[in-house]
Structure 1
Amino acid sequence: MFIGRKRELAALERLYESGKFEFAVIYGRRRVGKTSLITRFIEGKNAVYFMGVESSAMQNLENLSVNIFEYATGERAEGAFSSFQAALEYVFRLAEKERLILAIDEYPYAARASKSLASTLQLLIDRYKDGSKLMLILCGSSMSYMEDNVLAYKAPLYGRRTAQMKILPFGFADTCRCFTRFSDTDKALIYGVAGGTPQYLLQMDDRLSVEENIKNTFLNPSSSLFEEPENLLKQEVREPALYNAIITAVAGGASRMAEISTKTGAETSICSAYLKNLISLGLIRKETPYGEKSSSRKSIYVIDDNMFRFWYRFVPENSSIIARGASELAYKRIEPGLSDYMGSVFEEICRQYLWKLLLTGKSPVEFRELGRWWGTDPLTRKQAEIDIMGEQDKDTALFCECKWRNEKTGAEVLDTLLERSGLFRYSRKHLYLFSKSGFTKGCEERAGELGFVSLVAYLDVLKVLLSD
């Protein structure tokens, strides 16, 4: 069953329907569903699909040749073109009279094996594009390679592409659509532990409880997810040990650059470069208090991928007992921290809810961006935090508090949010209180008195996100 990617498919269809030469670059982290997207798109269309392999140029050329011959003759044939240029030129000529897609998946493997491949493509695109009906797709999982050698200004193919797509993990709504048997609460928990990466979601079984899923994957040494974060780093970066140490430090609470440097024993300049790479991979996110510049000294680093965040938060500290098969004991140690862990996951789900309201014209505040704020309350001189805030203009903003607890949220939480919103000089405010378990009668009455408050239970968040 194919789920999600409606915008990406629609964009590819628009390119296809133009009838002229198109060149789309698709890239994104491993396991995120790029190949499934391409496979779905080319279904029923004239297409040559070729996946690069981590092998020699000759092997890649042979594989490409087989795919081309199979398309041209309808039969699997042996043999190979004399060169990549001859093979690709043949495809361009096939596309002179009919719409044809050439999809090169895992392009970095083929391009690394044949150093002249990018220049060959550049040459042929420039020669044939004006009269060609070819739709060329280059796809890659090596984010750094695609950005530096395909998209960058100095790359041979720069300026030739007509579209680019960075494929990201699913949001909460599409994650929910992957499962029919999980309860509404369990869907949030699964999103919290597995994130929105399709390949990781496939490891989850909605016939089982969340506890059983965690035991079968993260707490099982034979599971593919047990070593997935470390394996992915080995595939993506040259020095996985230091990258691993940096993510471990961030997961352990070292959120500022100086703290990360101290924990890892690496200089801040080195940590900065490595963090930049982790950000480009979508594993780490740099956060700055809302309204402040990204260069602010208050900036912190957090793990941006739920699966990585869960793994680094709970697996390494229990690795010894997990290796001995004691998944029950490991889960007993993990379970008390799950509710606290889900706090930031729920905040992200609520942000997605707010964006959905905005994009459907139902938001009381037309914000430009959303973010978290933290700083010192000048009255109490204590640290204060606002889970989500967003500004429409200098006079209007929204402020939100999110509570993932098993008890109803009371009026005192609303009053605290009201008080903290007073730290900002907006004449018009709208407050949102999000709660996993609903609200007390006192909270509902207080919200009614204020008149500019929305109380939103988790089930209402889910309903909005899953609506078309």
Structure 2
Amino acid sequence: LNGIERKVIFLDELPWMDTAGSNFISALEHFWNGWASARRDIVLIVCGSATSWMMDKLINNHGGLYGRLTHRLFLQPFSLGESEAFLKTKGMMLSRYELAELYMILGGIPYYLNLLDERLSLAQNIDRLLFNPNGQLYNEFTILYRSLFKDSEAYVKVVECLNERGYGMMRSEIADAAGMKSGKSLTTILDNLESCGFIRKYVNYGCSTRKSLYQLVDFFTLFYFRFLRDSSFRNLLYWSKLQRYAPFYAWAGVSFEILAMNHIDQVKQRLGISGVSTQLYSWRSKSDAGAAERAAQIDMVIERGDNTINLCEMKFSESEFAINKDYEKILRNKIVRFMEETKTRKLIQLTFISSYGLQRNMYSGIAQNEVVLNDLF
């Protein structure tokens, strides 16, 4: 091979080449350090879905491959808009409400989306893939965690604990709940889960990073814990029958909040602040039990560089959302509690993010900004 024209070597699913006794890593180190690195025409691209292997053996390698990576590319899931475009190529035409529901179940994972049958309704597809014992994703939770993570039981234990507290837990709380030591092993688990997008690490507005929280945000994992873990739910027509019942709305409400946070760039564009620097937070009132009626929680706080803060309220509904007198009181309480406890002097704007917008009435004026589902595409 001449040393002029560029040669690209692409190794897919690298972790599976490292079988027991193969000495694969040593061979890869020898190939790169002993020959390829001296040539300017060689580009080596490797990829793998086994996250713990890629992190331990390659990205955080302290041996012969230390410092050899020139670029790291994390393949993000499709956005809502990209998922819509992908499904259209399959001839599957869903409403944007259905697309949001689908996204909150499977995320924007192309492999999952490709399993959908365009001849069936969304509910029929979910029943076929997830609730039918012969479905292609019936055992996906176990397969997914075992393929991604070494010692997958520990990872599952952590996400189980996080699932029990929707807004998240501090590291020490996770260690206690999971029965683990708060050491290197837990650090590795949390780092790998965050790298994969299964959890997010965040701080409440006004708190230090020492009080960082970890929140479970993977759509499929959340759906599994809510509907699939209990085998009594898993009958052939479960999802088709569940639509429009309380468990559906409870799950959809939480998942829609994560959906909106995942599409923060689209939210900013709708608000006309794409070019403004922002920081994303959540916030919880410090009110004690005796003041429970004044307690408040805001799942998405956008602090802007133009001295403004957007407090985002998110609701997933089948039609325009109507704010009534009682709910307006709750919203005003959130604003007041936020201003009192944070002592902010910045301009506060209540932003309402919903499926179809607000129904105009005497209480809807409390929201200064609106973002609807279409804006997230």
| TM-score over 0.5 (shorter chain) | yes
Cα distance in 2, alignment partners of residues 156 and 126 from structure 1:
12
Matching residue of 1:310: 223
Query: CA separation of 1:446/1:358 partners in 2, compared to 1, >3 Å: closer, same or farther?
Result: closer
Matching residue of 1:173: 81
Asked which structure has the greater CA Rg, the reply is: 1
On the 8 A contact 1:204/1:213 being kept in 2, the answer is yes
Matching residue of 1:125: 36
- 1:185 Cα shift? 0.6
Matching residue of 1:362: 272
Cα distance in 2, alignment partners of residues 342 and 223 from structure 1:
23
- 1:213 Cα shift? 1.9
Secondary structure of the equivalent of 2:77?
coil
On the 8 A contact 1:371/1:390 being kept in 2, the answer is yes
- 1:236 Cα shift? 2.8
Secondary structure of the equivalent of 1:349?
helix
Matching residue of 2:332: 415
- 1:161 Cα shift? 3.6
- 1:395 Cα shift? 3.6
* Residue identity in the other structure for 1:105: D
1:151 is aligned, of 45, 59, 79, to 59
Matched, 1:251 2:251: no
* Residue identity in the other structure for 2:339: G
- 1:190 Cα shift? 0.1
Matching residue of 1:140: 48
**Which runs of 5 or more residues in structure 2 are unaligned?**
none
On the 8 A contact 1:289/1:373 being kept in 2, the answer is yes
On the 8 A contact 2:315/2:354 being kept in 1, the answer is yes
Cα distance in 1, alignment partners of residues 360 and 46 from structure 2:
57
Q: How many residue pairs were aligned? A: 356
More displaced stretch, 282-291 vs 373-382: 373-382
Matching residue of 1:292: 207
- 1:150 Cα shift? 2.8
Secondary structure of the equivalent of 1:145?
helix
On the 8 A contact 2:129/2:138 being kept in 1, the answer is yes
Matching residue of 1:236: 148
On the 8 A contact 1:365/1:396 being kept in 2, the answer is no
Sequence identity, in percent? 24
Matched, 1:442 2:361: yes
On the 8 A contact 1:186/1:210 being kept in 2, the answer is yes
Cα distance in 2, alignment partners of residues 145 and 230 from structure 1:
18
Please give the residue correspondences for 1:259-408 in structure 2 after superposition, counting only pairs within 5 Å.
260=174, 264-267=178-181, 269=183, 274-296=189-211, 299-317=212-230, 319-320=231-232, 322=234, 326-329=235-238, 332=241, 335-356=245-266, 358=268, 362-363=272-273, 366-377=276-287, 380=291, 382-393=294-305, 395-406=307-318, 408=321
On the 8 A contact 2:358/2:364 being kept in 1, the answer is no
Matching residue of 1:183: 95
TM value normalised by structure 2: 0.80
Matching residue of 2:106: 194
On the 8 A contact 1:409/1:435 being kept in 2, the answer is no
RMSD of aligned alpha carbons:
3.3
1:107 is aligned, of 7, 14, 18, to 14
More displaced stretch, 378-387 vs 230-239: 378-387
- 1:346 Cα shift? 2.1
- 1:268 Cα shift? 5.3
Query: CA separation of 1:365/1:402 partners in 2, compared to 1, >3 Å: closer, same or farther?
Result: farther
